[in-house]
Amino acid sequence: MIYADNAATTKMSPAAIETMLSLMENSWGNPSSLYAHGQNAKEVLEQARCDIAHAIGAEPREIIFTSGGSEADNQAILSAAENGKKAGKTHIVSSAFEHHAVLHTLNKLKKEGFEVTLLDVHENGLIVPEEVNAAIREDTCLVTIMYANNEIGTIQPIREIAAVCRQRGVPFHTDAVQAVGHIPLSAAEEGIDMLSASAHKFHGPKGVGFLYARKGIRLASLIEGGAQERGRRAGTENVPGIAAMAVALKEACANLKQNAEHLTSMRDRLILGLRQIPHSALNGDPQRRLPGNVNFCFEGIEGESLLLLLDDKGIQASSGSACTSGSLDPSHVLLAIGRVHDVAHGSLRLSLGEDVTAAQVDEMIRAVREVVDYLRGFSPIWRDLMSGKKQFIL
Ligand SMILES: *Cc1c(COP(=O)(O)O)cnc(C)c1O
């Protein structure tokens, strides 16, 4: 079996599992309790906060623990909207290929009277900082642009976009769920005001993540209750999950350089192999992309059937986002970079894990080639393309 869906979730690191188990057994006190058992859990929590802050170039008090990336995105955007509204600013700048945790939150705000400008994404899957600058208005209260796209893996010029926002005095949030633990990143140095991350994307547990909010950014609380997280997120903290997240992130950062080098070479080997398939195209910039991300379109086939047949061959992949599988609509990300519906339907994302081998990459190339050939063999669209009734796009 080859697991090539690491953008959807990753396998937990053994050290993170061990941390979690040990805390559940030995340190299950409530961090808000004053006796030693509770204070012990509190220490674990604060150590995790320090480690996470250190890993992303932030200060401990700038880290708020959440239930994952979606909650962090929601809190960042809704906080900026609330602050903006108080100042009479109700315009937000984002992009067309954000994660649904961002897009759906923006849709909710639109219903409340906010105006949203979604920037076009260029064919290479990149956003241009000058276009962010041009979209900012007097009444803009937030710019939110993802660090690295979860489907096509493209890495945005975040430092430049943050600089534009800083210069125009607009808070900048980035959904960095796919970037944290995978590529070098420093929140303070890059001028980021808010950043979202999720543990299960870097070999930590599911249901836990964090929001970085630079000192001075006022956060609204999505959940009312106790005074946990300095009043910014009520509820007894998920101490084992948070500590395991810190362990997983420390591990990912310690091995980041060598993992990225290996993944990049495996990724490029895979891209080279898949490019040999006629009427195929890589989605997103070939260089400015996550080390483990490969995303292709194959003309004349359906992504769904491709996935099922690959699964039969022991390869677990995705057609794009785990969140849209089950829906028949083509990926909003592929449409945003200008792929037409027919082509966007035949997409395949292979997101590699750090332990992938060259032999596995070659096996994936072989399998994809076989399955694409097989499916084209009885595809009516492919027949029309071959007979000239329809024009090839790729
Ligand atoms: C996975 C993902 C999320 C959601 O994170 P959860 O922890 O699953 O809520 C948000 N944004 C991006 C880019 C993601 O890849």
Residue 169 to residue 150: CA distance in whole angstroms = 28
C-alpha 69 – ligand 1 centre gap (Å):
5
C-alpha 138 – ligand 1 centre gap (Å):
31
Answer whether CATH 2.70.98.60 is correct for domain 256-387: no
Using an 8 Å Cβ cutoff, are 319 and 304 in contact?
yes
Give start-end residues of each CATH 3.40.640.10 domain in the chain: 14-254
Atom number in ligand 1 closest to CA 98: 13
For position 342, what pLDDT does the model report?
86
For position 324, what pLDDT does the model report?
46
For position 313, what pLDDT does the model report?
97
Using an 8 Å Cβ cutoff, are 201 and 65 in contact?
no
The structure's pTM equals 0.97
For position 330, what pLDDT does the model report?
86
Q: Which of 201, 238, 332, 333 to mutate to test the pocket of ligand 1 (most atoms within 8 A of CB)?
A: 201
The amino acid at 43? E
Give me the CATH code for the 14-254 domain, please.
3.40.640.10
pLDDT in tens, 190-236: 999 999 999 999 999 999 999 999 999 999 999 999 999 999 999 99
Give start-end residues of each CATH 3.90.1150.10 domain in the chain: 256-387
- Regions of the chain with pLDDT less than 70: 320-328
CA 47 to chain CA mean position, Å? 25
C-alpha 88 – ligand 1 centre gap (Å):
30
Q: Which residues line ligand 1 (CB under 6 A)?
A: 68-70, 99, 101, 146, 150, 175, 177-178, 198, 200-201, 209
For residue 161, count other CB atoms closer than 10 A to its CB: 26
3-class secondary structure per residue, the chain:
CEECECCCCCCCCHHHHHHHHHHHHHCCCCCCCCCHHHHHHHHHHHHHHHHHHHHCCCCHHHEEEECCHHHHHHHHHHHHHHHHHHCCCCEEEEECCCCHHHHHHHHHHHHCCCEEEEECCCCCCCCCHHHHHHHCCCCEEEEECCCECCCCCEECCHHHHHHHHHHHCCCEEEECCCCCCCCCCCCCCCCCCEEEEEHHHCCCCCCCEEEEECCCCCCCCCCCCCCHHHHCCCCCCCHHHHHHHHHHHHHHHHCHHHHHHHHHHHHHHHHHHHHCCCCEEECCCCCCECCCEEEEEECCCCHHHHHHHHHHCCEECECCCCCCCCCCCCCHHHHHCCCCHHHHHCEEEEECCCCCCHHHHHHHHHHHHHHHHHHHHCCHHHHHHHHCCCCCCC
C-alpha 34 – ligand 1 centre gap (Å):
35
**Residues designated as active site:** 323
Ligand 1 atom 15, closest CA? 150
Can you tell me which residue has the tokens 């903006």?
Answer: 84
For position 323, what pLDDT does the model report?
47
Ligand 1 atom 6, closest CA? 69
For position 302, what pLDDT does the model report?
86
